[in-house]
Chain A
Amino acid sequence: MFSSFRIQRLPSSHPGIALAARLAAIVIALVVAGVGIALAGMNPFDLGARVITASFGSSFGMEDLGVLVIPLILTGLAVAVGQQVGAWNIGAEGQFYAGAFAASAVGLFVPGEGPLILILMFVAGLVGGAAWILIPTLARAYANVNELITTLLLNFVATLLVYYVATGPWRDRSGMANSATPPLSTSVPEFWGIVHWGFPIAIGLAILVGAALAFSRWGYEVRLVGSNPSAAKYAGIPVRKHLIMVMLLSGAIAGLAGMLEIAGTVHRLQGGISNNFGYLGIMVAVLARGSPIGVIFSGAFMALILNSGIVLQTQGLTTSVVLAITGFILFLTAIGDELSYYRITREKPEGAA
């Protein structure tokens, strides 16, 4: 008698297996990319060494990573938080722009400078992001309109709004900048090279949100709503209230990402500031499997990949090749992640016992 194999999906994957699957995916992707680079006539080991020394070998590279990781952690956190309550916030991009827009309004038009303005900008960023997700939130909570579509579509509105004000009414007329507003009055201070205080804020917020979800009663209820809304309702948990609060929180975090990018890194409002951070945040959250703490690590991983892309470009690889390699790594990581939920079991034939 042959014994038969069966593929079984587990409700949760073993952390060790998940990690191994992820590492295997990265290794496979790098090997394939290396073969591709070798076929293109370049030495993949040289390039790899170059990426590593450029990223970790100097404070220059580490600073770049430190700045790049801030918006990635925050937009990733925004998406991950939404996932906890069972909502897919695809609109982090739009909320990022809305937060940047609101913070810029403060930085450009509220007289004065210094800590007070910075706090106002901070609040404006949070409120701007939350306001941008308000309509999708209410539509989902009261009319069960799918937030995937509504949050996504508002991205384009926010992007165009920022393009409009940056090239139109708010544009810099001094001739010092193309299609951007004048510099904001206040900046988030830097504490190490070009890395500003957004870095500890992003990590601190991820830990805070993660802890609240894991240990508080609120967090427990939110997770219950996310995994089984009917059961949560039956248990007397205010499902709608939690949904609304968490979605607004998600938008606010994405808005904060926009505020920190504007006030810490870019210093002027203009189109294109998001660098697709909103969409990359979805990837960061998926790689972290919706875990707020995990977002710190997947955000760092994403920052490393994006930064490697820049290093590789100066080494003569074209943007398309770099994008293809980046996409391939993420694609395989996602597959490896999903596969780690499965196991192959060998069933004993019936009656063999």
Chain B
Amino acid sequence: MTSIRNLSRRGFLNMSAAAGSSLLLPSGMLTSAFAADPLPAIAEEDAVIGFGHVGPITDEGWTWSHHQGLLAVKEAYPNLKNILEVENVPYSADATRTYRQFVSEGANMIFDTSSTGDFLHQVVKRAPEVAFMECNGHNPDLPNLGWYYLAHWYPTYVLGVAAGHLSKTGKLGYVASFPVASVYASTNAFLMGARTVNPDATVQTIVINSWFDPQAATQAGTALIDNGCDFLFGIMDEAGYLQVAESRGVWAAMWNTDIRRYGPNAYVSSIIVDFKDFYVDQVGKRLAGTWAPNQTLLPMGGGVDRDVWGQNVPEEVGKAADEVREKIIGGWSPFVGELKDKDGNVRVEADQKMTEMELYNWDWSVEGVSGLEG
């Protein structure tokens, strides 16, 4: 992270209110606002760092990826012995209890890897001497809390291009967890990519109310295929619908890690996530006493990317999608109006480019995506 622009909080607010343009800097860091008094430096051997995860670190998916980040921190700071890690933190008041426990164990910095929202913020407010970073969080204006996430809509758009080429029916299936912003961004970007190839493509979504429920994901995948979908995508922390796609002979794209061995024939690619450098950087700053609450979206190529194409993906399809990928890395954005929602209302005016914050907080479906909004 070389070019960090430091802004005062008020400066940031003014700027985001005034400017319609993207706030994303090349580093991925949107803003970095210094608290009135930066938290003091700590010696490596005295520091306590806490990680709270939504799932088990053995999930081969989201939590595993964050755990790799923890291991990278350990490697980068060998004298940092005190790293607390709790798996399966539920999205309930138990999350508050877990993070309170981190604080009472003397944590200096705490990462919430799965946006527990208010449950975390209640702790943040009462522990001003602790640095908090919330993954996919939303900043409720607390001086010791920042957030970080991935600009996953770009590689998702790239996968959408591939899906447009690969799908014969033009019906794309999506196994969704909850109707939350990251799922809106994911389904929309996926369809927008596919429509550059097949203008009639649609995305059918089934919401299963979980990030990790192999049985429900399997059922949803089966139902989507029965409905005519021949390409499955979704944000799941496991390989359930990939196995369905493999046995039914359709395509599938995944999230988090390379899990092609669960369905080598069906596997197209995956949204690969990598938090290692980010965690090492953040912990380093906290130790040095230079940490400030920042809002960071890791960009494509710097924390999130598509995976190596699957064995059955024709070379020209991978090439066509990769050309789009290069264009995006070069600075081009596909998320430009005119965009209509599913009811036909114009939501983004012609030639208007969506900002990173608009993409991050996307809460409506583009025309052609069904199943998320009641």
Contacts and interface: CB of A to CB of B under 8 A. Distances in A.
B93 A261 contact: yes
Given A169-B374, A267-B118, A314 B138 contact: no
Contacts of A273: 92-93
A39 interface: no
Interface string A66-104: 011000000000000000000000000000000000000
Nearest to B362: A175
B88 A319 contact: yes
B23 interface: no
A48 to B, nearest CB: 16
Contact of B85 (A267, A310, A316): A316
Contact of B138 (A58, A176, A268, A271): A176
Interface in B123-167: 126, 136, 138, 140
Given A176-B140, A177-B117, A194-B122, A270 B91 contact: yes
Interface in B161-213: 178-181, 207, 209
B152 to A, nearest CB: 15
Contacts of B115: 178
A60 B122 CA distance: 13
A64 B100 contact: yes
Interface centre among A173, A175, A265 (most CB of B within 10 A): A175
A180 B117 contact: yes
Given A64-B100, A310-B98, A314-B50, A275 B118 contact: no
A228 interface: no
The size class of the interface chain A forms with chain B is: 35 or more
Contact of B90 (A173, A194, A275): A275
A268 B91 CA distance: 12
B117 A178 contact: yes
B372 to A, nearest CB: 10
Contacts of B87: 313, 318-319
Contacts of B363: 173, 175
B179 A171 contact: yes
Interface string A269-280: 011111100000
Interface residues of B, number: 39
Interface stretch (B5-13, B101-109, B257-265): B101-109
A272 B89 CA distance: 12
A271 B92 CA distance: 8
A61 B98 CA distance: 11
Contact of A268 (B50, B102, B118, B179): B118
A272 B98 contact: no
A163 B84 CA distance: 31
A267 B101 CA distance: 21
Nearest to A318: B87
Nearest to B104: A60
Given A168-B179, A178-B117, A314 B86 contact: yes
Interface of B: 50, 56, 84-88, 90-94, 96-98, 100-105, 115, 117-119, 122, 126, 136, 138, 140, 178-181, 207, 209, 361, 363, 374
* 8 closest Cβ pairs, A-B complex: A175-B361, A179-B178, A178-B180, A319-B88, A313-B86, A168-B374, A60-B104, A272-B92
26 contacts: A54-B101, A54-B104, A60-B104, A167-B209, A171-B179, A173-B363, A175-B138, A175-B181, A175-B363, A176-B117, A178-B178, A178-B180, A180-B118, A266-B93, A266-B118, A272-B91, A273-B92, A273-B93, A274-B92, A275-B93, A307-B97, A310-B101, A313-B86, A313-B98, A314-B50, A319-B56
